[in-house]
Amino acid sequence: MFKFTWPKKKQSFPGGLKLAGHKQVTQIIEPELPKELIYPLFLAADRYAKPCVNIGDTVLKGQIIATADSLLATPIHASSSGTISAIEKRLIAHPSGLSDRCIILQTDGLDKVLTPDPCIDYTEQGHDFLCHKIQQSGIVGLGGAAFPTAKKLQPSQVIHTLIINAAECEPYISCDESLAIESAPEIIQGALIIQYILQAQYCIIAIEDSKPDAYKALLLATESNQIQIQKVPSIYPTGGEKQLIQVISGVQIPVKKLPSEYGYICQNVATAYAIYQAIILGRPLTERIITLTGDGIKQNQNLRARIGTPIKDLVHACHGYTLQAEQLIMGGPMMGIALASDDIAVIKASNCLLINQVNKPISQACIRCGDCADVCPSELLPQQLYWYSHTQQWDNCNDYKLADCIECGCCDVVCPSKIPLVQAFRIAKAEVQQKKQQSATAALAKKRFDNRQHRLKRIEQEKLAQQDKRKAAIEKMKAAAAKRKLN
Amino acid sequence: MLFPTQSSPFTVNNKSIQTVMLQVLLALIPAIMTLFYFFGYSILMQISLAIMTALIAESFCLYLRKKPILSTLADFSALLTAVLIAIAIPSIAPWWVVVNGTLFAILIAKQVYGGLGYNPFNPAMAGYVFLLISFPVPMTLWQAPSIFLSFSDAISTLFTQIVAVDGLSSATVLDYTKMQLRSGSSINTIQAQPLFGFIADKNKEIVSLAYLIGGLYLCHQKTIRWHIPFAVLMGVFIPASIAYAIDPNIYSSPWFHLVAGATVCAAFFIATDPVSAATSIKGRLIYGFLIGFLIFCIRTWGGYPDAVAFAVLLANITAPSIDFYLRPKVTKS
């Protein structure tokens, strides 16, 4: 086989922060079967799944209950057996805090499984077949973005390097780490399947150097030298796709480009595990590892949670809240979203639930210290952006590349004045977007108006031309009549 | 159970404006101790007067502007401004000098512009220049290097204007050098006077060393970045070296420029005020160098013996332009 070595020089991305880990790697436990499972039909952006069951239907674990009609959507599977009790609006795990349509499944406690449809030897199957199977298994990126994996595995460019992202750079989250410790061989299998699908020459599993146990487990499970396990420095946000690629290869991928255009593809380690389960075992994605952590919970624990489990049931599995339970965050403390209620169900993107005290100090004026610019991984000037965004100078926001902000939260954390910078940028981005839409609508309206004016003028001219013609014809006839008379 | 929702991120670090200002105040302690050791109680009195004035003036403004008073005072920025003014002015100047200077710094240079974060000029230096222009005579009353003022002597000097000790005031080395150069003496003969210590002012050069220690501590703590202090010192050192190389008889040595007057203090404690300085790394280097260069120019060819305050204010004016033209290029997309 080929031997492959990376340049020895230590690569890194600009900015970033060393954060306290707060990670407690625990054994993954299986919580009790919840009474009710909730499946939001909302997938991402403007994409929804279409329910294909009716109220009162009995479903089995692994059965599709909502279908997807495009590659950018994925079907939803029941994660236990039971009866569909309602399709109604419930609070969903979304930053807007709004309710949306959800399928409610009343479990019967039997947990009957739909007969799995494994694929014994994936190397006999074609790329399209495997992608289709991954899509039909409902697999999305499990790192938190929940982008449909099948879509990502069908790039138009040639991929030379597959990176399995096990960096998990956000504090508190340890679901990937514990999964890597407990299921390293399966992850390696999954990585090989993805590598086969992409026909990628190299496959690298990247893991932060603060996770020696997971690193060892992955190293032990790696049999072939087709896969390389690489340690990356524990600097937040090294687990960001583009940051990770830069750390590993030194290639800086521009903001509006996709890594695939440069021959790289990143997949989360949990996604690799899900792909293994889908292809080799024939099991669709109905559960994921989730970290329940923070001072607000009695026992910090990694759980194998069924998708759709209400958060309160998971909290119950961790022996409940403590007095410090003041806020509920889905995701990590840097980029997570605060949820309004623990009735909300776990979705495929939920990698962590952080329950802790509210810690938002009062913000003061910016003293222009420039710390924010030092830590920005996108090399922006957050203080200037903040100035322009809160004074609503949108053109200047564009000049200073507001759209390049990845909302990692580094600037916010280092700010001595405790200014909520990321929040300001989110608002500004929304405003800029709205302005863009407004001006597009205005341009369209103007075009329509111009066209109408043009059309009216043309009709008028045609009318006049016709009148002239008629007049000329009448004149002609008159002249002819006069001529006849003369004759 | 219901929870409040906020925007990410949900962690904060311990660095705050308060800790930054406290660090700077802490770093000033060696210099204040040295000043006290050499010059006595007058310096402590100036500092107390300035602090009281600053806190009262700041509270008054915050009251008028309907801002929270205690929490804003607790950012210690007014306190720092007061201490900087107090150690910048002559320690035996009458009490109303420091009070006026602090009032101007807080009321006009800081609060009128909108308080901390919005002042285009360094408030302490604005206050200092105000004093220098308005009350030129008391602003030249520098305490002679070998006199230690006791508590009662300091009180009578500051409040009753009765000179308690003979030969209390004397010229600074910068002042003296400038005057003697005008009368035609050469640097070598001037700087052999008893006014001079190893390099510059007797005793005060030790104070400069104390400023240096405090400043290096701030750099080590990452409270300030090294760029501005380094550039200020280089801004003084490089032109001074060139001038000294051209004619050592009429130009002081670069070491003299570094140690005399307030060069070190300005480099580490005054020019590094983030609010009125440039923000990018390149910008900071240019901003600092400009301050140093102006200090050298005004000292050498200007009308005032020391020039830190003017140099800093002039550089403050240029900071927004420096930031505008030297902003790091975001070329990625």
CATH number at residue A224: 3.40.50.11540
C-alpha A459 chain-centroid distance: 52
* Candidates B1, B11, B20, B330, partner chain A, best to mutate (most A CBs within 10 A): B11
Higher pLDDT, B256 or B52: B52
Among residues B134, B130, B261, B152, the alpha carbon closest in space to that of B201 is found at: B261
DSSP state of A345: B
Confidence bin at B165 (pLDDT 50/70/90): low
**CB contact, 8 Å: A361 with chain B?**
yes
DSSP state of B111: I
Same domain, A167 and A76: yes
The angle formed by the CA atoms of residues A301, A305 and A309, to the nearest 5 degrees, is 115
A9-23, A245-259, A330-344, A404-418: the lowest-pLDDT one: A9-23
Both tokens of residue A254? 């521009």
pLDDT of B171: 78
Cβ–Cβ gap B6/A358 under 8 Å: yes
Contacts of B274 in chain A (CB under 8 A): 367-370
- Has residue A376 been placed in a domain? yes
Same domain, A387 and A275: no
The separation between the first and the last C-alpha atoms of chain A, rounded to the nearest angstrom, is 110
Among residues A252, A249, A218, A240, the alpha carbon closest in space to that of A169 is found at: A240
Confidence bin at A11 (pLDDT 50/70/90): low
The CATH code of the domain that includes A451 is 1.10.1060
What residues make up the domain containing A388? Answer: 367-487
Average pLDDT of chain B is 89
Cβ–Cβ gap B3/A378 under 8 Å: no
- Does residue B327 have a pLDDT over 80? no
Same domain, A280 and A396: no
* Closest chain A CA to residue B280: A370
**Quick check: B80 and B20 in contact, CB under 8 A?**
no
Contacts of A364 in chain B (CB under 8 A): 16-17, 75, 116-117
- Sign of the CA dihedral with A305 first, then A311, A317, and A318 last: positive
User: B41-64 and B17-39 are packed helices; what angle lies between their axes, rounded to 10 degrees?
Assistant: 150
pLDDT of B333: 43
- Does residue A121 have a pLDDT over 90? no
pLDDT of A83: 94
* Closest chain B CA to residue A172: B11
A218-231: pLDDT as tens digits: 998 887 777 899 99
**With pLDDT > 90 as the criterion, what percentage of chain B qualifies?**
59
Question: Residue A400 corresponds to which amino acid?
Answer: Y
Stretch (H or E) spanning B84: helix B77-88
Same domain, A47 and A170: yes
Stretch (H or E) spanning A287: strand A287-293
pLDDT of A6: 44
Same domain, A281 and A380: no
- Does residue A7 have a pLDDT over 50? no
To which residue do tokens 């991984």 refer? A377
Q: How far apart are CA A160 and CA A181, in angstroms?
A: 27
- Has residue A443 been placed in a domain? yes
According to DSSP, the residues that pair with A310 across neighbouring strands are: A345
Mean pLDDT within A12-34: 87
Q: How far apart are CA A77 and CA A308, in angstroms?
A: 10
- Quote the number of domains for chain A: 2
pLDDT of A79: 92
Of A97, A384, A418, the CB nearest to B12: A418
Same domain, A266 and A382: no
* Burial zone of B314 (CB within 10 Å; 0-12 exposed, 13-18 middle, 19+ buried): middle
Same domain, A284 and A388: no
Same domain, A253 and A379: no
The residue from A288, A313, A333 where one domain ends is A288
Contacts of A328 in chain B (CB under 8 A): 1, 3
- How distant is the Cα of A380 from the closest Cα of chain B, in angstroms? 7
pLDDT of A1: 40
- Has residue A151 been placed in a domain? yes
- Does residue A206 have a pLDDT over 70? yes
Tell me the range of A254-258, B47-51, B137-141 where mean pLDDT is highest.
B47-51
Q: How far apart are CA A482 and CA A472, in angstroms?
A: 15
Cα–Cα distances (Å) from A197 to A141, A152, B298, in that order, read 16, 11, 72
Q: How far apart are CA A48 and CA A21, in angstroms?
A: 36
**CB contact, 8 Å: A363 with chain B?**
no
pLDDT of B331: 54
Cα–Cα distances (Å) from B278 to A187, B143, B327, in that order, read 50, 35, 10
Look at strands A287-293 and A301-306 and give their pairing. Answer: antiparallel
Same domain, A266 and A161: yes
Cβ–Cβ gap B11/A334 under 8 Å: yes
The residue from A251, A271, A288 where one domain ends is A288
Q: How far apart are CA A48 and CA A68, in angstroms?
A: 8
Both tokens of residue B180? 């003697």
| Count of CA atoms in the C-beta half-sphere (13 A) of A73 | 18
Average pLDDT of chain A is 89
Same domain, A266 and A411: no
* Burial zone of B148 (CB within 10 Å; 0-12 exposed, 13-18 middle, 19+ buried): middle
**Quick check: B229 and B288 in contact, CB under 8 A?**
yes
Cβ–Cβ gap B16/A256 under 8 Å: no
pLDDT of A117: 84
Q: Which residues of A348-375 are buried (b: 16+ CB within 10 A; e: fewer)?
A: bbbbbbbbbeeeeeeebbbbbbbbbbbb
The residue from A254, A288, A322 where one domain ends is A288
- Does residue A5 have a pLDDT over 60? no
Confidence bin at A2 (pLDDT 50/70/90): very low
Mean pLDDT within A129-147: 89
**CB contact, 8 Å: B115 with chain A?**
yes
Same domain, A400 and A253: no
- Has residue A191 been placed in a domain? yes
Mean pLDDT within A443-460: 95
- How distant is the Cα of A13 from the closest Cα of chain B, in angstroms? 13
**CB contact, 8 Å: B87 with chain A?**
no
Higher pLDDT, A359 or B105: B105
Contacts of A380 in chain B (CB under 8 A): 330
- Has residue A127 been placed in a domain? yes
Contacts of B11 in chain A (CB under 8 A): 19, 171, 333-334, 359, 409, 413
Tell me the range of A101-110, A154-163, A391-400, B285-294 where mean pLDDT is highest.
B285-294
Q: How many CB atoms lie within 10 A of CB A485?
A: 7
pLDDT of A10: 54
Of A252, A335, A371, the CB nearest to B9: A335
pLDDT of A360: 79
* Closest chain B CA to residue A320: B1
C-alpha A83 chain-centroid distance: 30
Q: How far apart are CA A140 and CA B238, in angstroms?
A: 61
- Has residue A391 been placed in a domain? yes
pLDDT of B316: 95
Mean pLDDT within A444-472: 94
- Has residue A349 been placed in a domain? no
Cβ–Cβ gap A401/B332 under 8 Å: yes
Q: How far apart are CA A127 and CA A304, in angstroms?
A: 30
The separation between the first and the last C-alpha atoms of chain B, rounded to the nearest angstrom, is 44
**CB contact, 8 Å: A49 with chain B?**
no
Q: Which residues contact B64 (CB under 8 A, 6 or more apart)?
A: none
Among residues B10, B176, B43, the alpha carbon closest in space to that of A422 is found at: B10
